[in-house]
A and B are shown apart, each in its own frame.
Chain A
Amino acid sequence: MRKFAEDFAAQSRVVGALLIREIYTRFGREGLGFAWIVGEPLIFAIPVLLTWSVVRGSSEHGVPMMSFLWTGYLPLLMFRHVGGRMLMFVRVNAGLLYHRQVTIFDIFLARCLLEVVSSLTAVLVSGVLFYSLGMMDLPRDLPMFYLGYLYMIWWCAVIGLIIGAFSERTDWAEKIWQPYSYLYIFFGGVFFMAAWLPESLRGWALLQPSVQAYELIRAGMFGSAVRTYGDLGYETTALAVLTLIGLLLMRDARKYVIAE
């Protein structure tokens, strides 16, 4: 138990140090540096959401448009940022592996954590902004909303884990990621709810952990005003299996690392 506590403290220290280093190298040390962590996703989110809500009217299938887009687009940003940042994440950081206590899993954790925190802050800031401008209501069922986001974070982290580990082994990972992360906008659940799909497609769509997480988030956002199809048992099992696959791939990826 004591050994575990020591290991945990050591690993937190390494991940913390990597996190600070990541912030310095990506955003610089001066001026706006740190604010960019939040600013970057907001620059994507706000114009896109405003334009769409104007173009597409005030509601869709009876749900308020702005709330719907907000629950769809911000998790999409998280997905694309976490996944994109993990492409060849070991190769570009190989210099760090000169230090024995830094494992590739620590590098993964630090990068993933930074992207997730940055995305969640953008969710918070844009949410408060749209709410205070009267463009959006607060989530009706907050615990459900949080739970949905928890699963969404898990899903994004798992994709990062798999794409990151896979990209160290073969260049195909990048070739697959580009179309997948684009097509995901259409089939990943970003802009539809399971209830809007014909029954023949719904079952297929719900096989995706992302669609499941979106259902949970929207159940939290709209409460009983909409019918949702989230299945916690399936979602947990699916993500647990994918996590296991990701961890196995990650353990294997270390063998492929060639330092400078």
Chain B
Amino acid sequence: MSLDPLPLCLLFSSALFCLGLIGALARSNTILVLLGIELMLNAANLNFIAFWRYGPATSPATGVMFVMFSIAVAAAEAAVGLALIIAVYRHQKSIRLQEANRLKG
């Protein structure tokens, strides 16, 4: 078992990714599914920072740039997802995934 920082960071981010995956698959509440997807996005950002810090040398701020753009896209995704949840709730009066099975409004 190596105790270098980079594998530890990667293990941390993969554990976070799998937690988000389990949450997105197991729960039937739409908000919790969206939060699981947010956790998976955050795990990807952790990988960017880990490789920026410990990986082969690149230009100094590359990883930081990647994570900032990724955070911006994740924020847009969260806003659109929650707006979709509110729109679905207005039609179905429920945010359970199993009950949102009609295309007709």
Chain A complexes with chain B: no
